[in-house]
Structure 1
Amino acid sequence: MSAADVTASPHGPGREAELLRLPRWCGTTAVSLAVCAGWAATIWVALHLKADATLHTVALFTHLASLVLGFGAVLAIDYYGALWLMGRKTLREVLDFTAPLHVPVWLGLGGLLFSGAFLHPDLGSPLTCAKLVLVLVLSLNGVQASALHRRLGAADGEPVGRRLLVRSAATALVSQGAWWGALAIGFLNSQH
């Protein structure tokens, strides 16, 4: 039996690796579950740990810096996406520009979640609960946006179908709605 026969065999060494490869949705599901667990852990910390004045001040600064970092990156991504949807940028230009911005988005969002737990959120307030739901929505939308980015990257060079265009626009609308909603509620809560 030659090496070519082993490679061509359906039971050859490459076949096992192919069989062990999980579908892409498994990775997206795992990340989504991790996001939900992190969100729930943040709420648990907020309920069980009270920060002193110094920690509260540090958490507030971290919260604001994380907002600038995360939301600023999201605004840049969504702006470039809108330029693509309007035909003013190519898909390749948008993908190349936005790929490195996913890191500051997630760092900012993680910083917001972590620091927010030390800002004495009033979890009995309907506004605070609405904000927490918006944060979960934008986090899960971010997971979906990362998967969409990979899907668009795989379609590079080919015409993008209507379904991907609609998904891209919906992703941006959910992102902006959740970020601005959480920001507005955070501002309103800071006035009390």
Structure 2
Amino acid sequence: MASSSGRATAAPGLEPGRPAVADSVEAAGRPPTPPWALVLLGALGAAVLAAACWTADHVHADPLLLAVARFLHLAALIVGLGSVLAVDWFAILWTLGRRSLEDVLRTACALQMPIWLGLAGLVLSGLFLRPDLASPLTLIKLGLVLAVLFNGLYAHWLGQRLRHVHTRPVPRRLLIQSGIAATVSQSGWWGATAIGFVNSQP
């Protein structure tokens, strides 16, 4: 963090002499995910979403299956969005100087799997919810889901760069990129949720 006078100040838990986050990660021998792998995952995710849309147009669920799908859809939303909110809340506390960068990265790492499981659950359960693919709102929702997918991969890449920051304060460029990623994430999740609610109304 930087004080109003421009001097660098240590965030809580990052006192001089304490091993930085990057040191612990490098010691564990975990190299960053190569960019080509993230691009491949993004393309695969887009293909899965397209296949889900095609399948949803050919699936006709009975009332019982429809009720189960709605429950699973809501459960996936709670898991995914709840995990995203937790990560972003820790990030806000970090910007206020009440948590260390290490706390934020540990939380993001711990909740990474629930976030992706929640997103996958939304897509899979959505197969049986009779989405109207001719509706502009539905198309916007699918665009938001795709944005959340790509942004999640970008946030993963960004988190690895933050783990390898050896200097404090964190470079402004990474702070701006983190803020943009958080904004896209919140906008995507809440936007898709709002559209889903509107579409569910009789």
TM-score (norm 2): 0.81
Q: Does 1:167 align with 2:177?
A: yes
Separation in structure 2 between the aligned mates of residue 157 and residue 105 of structure 1, nearest angstrom: 29
Aligned residues: 172
Quote how far apart the aligned CAs of 1:157 are.
5.5
The equivalences for 1:71-86 within 5 A come to: 71-86=81-96
**Distance across 1 between alignment mates of 2:40 and 2:149:** 13
Equivalent-residue separation in structure 1 for 2:107 and 2:137 (angstroms): 35
What does residue 66 of structure 1 align with? 76
| Equivalent position amino acid for 2:140 in 1 | A
> Is 1:186 equivalent to 2:196 in the alignment?
yes
Pairing partner for 1:33 from 37, 43, 50: 43
- 1:97 offset after TM fit, Å? 2.0
Aligned-partner residue type, residue 112 of structure 1: L
Counterpart of 1:126 in structure 2 is 136
* Alpha-carbon shift at residue 85 of structure 1 (Å): 2.4
Q: Which structure carries more helix by proportion? A: 1
Instruction: Name 2:65's counterpart in structure 1.
Output: 55
More RCO (CA 8 Å, sep 6+): 2
CA deviation map 1:87-122 (0-9, x unaligned): 321111111122110000000000000001110001
List runs of 5+ in structure 1 lacking aligned partners: 1-20
Q: 1:42: Cα distance to partner?
A: 1.1
Partner of 2:113: 103
* Higher mean C-alpha displacement, 70-79 vs 38-47: 38-47
* Identity level (%): 47
Distance 2:142 2:178 in 1: 24
Q: Which has the larger radius of gyration?
A: 1
2:184 and 2:57 map into 1 onto residues whose CA distance is: 28
Flag as ranges the 4+ runs of structure 1 deviating above 4 A: none
Q: Is the 8 A contact 2:80 2:116 kept in 1?
A: yes
Q: Unaligned 5+ residue runs, structure 2?
A: 1-30
One-letter amino acid of the structure 1 residue matched with residue 56 of structure 2: A
Q: Do 1:85 and 1:165's aligned partners in 2 also have CA atoms closer than 8 Å?
A: no
TM-score of the aligned structures, taking structure 1 as reference length: 0.85
Query: What's the RMSD between the two structures over aligned residues?
Result: 1.7
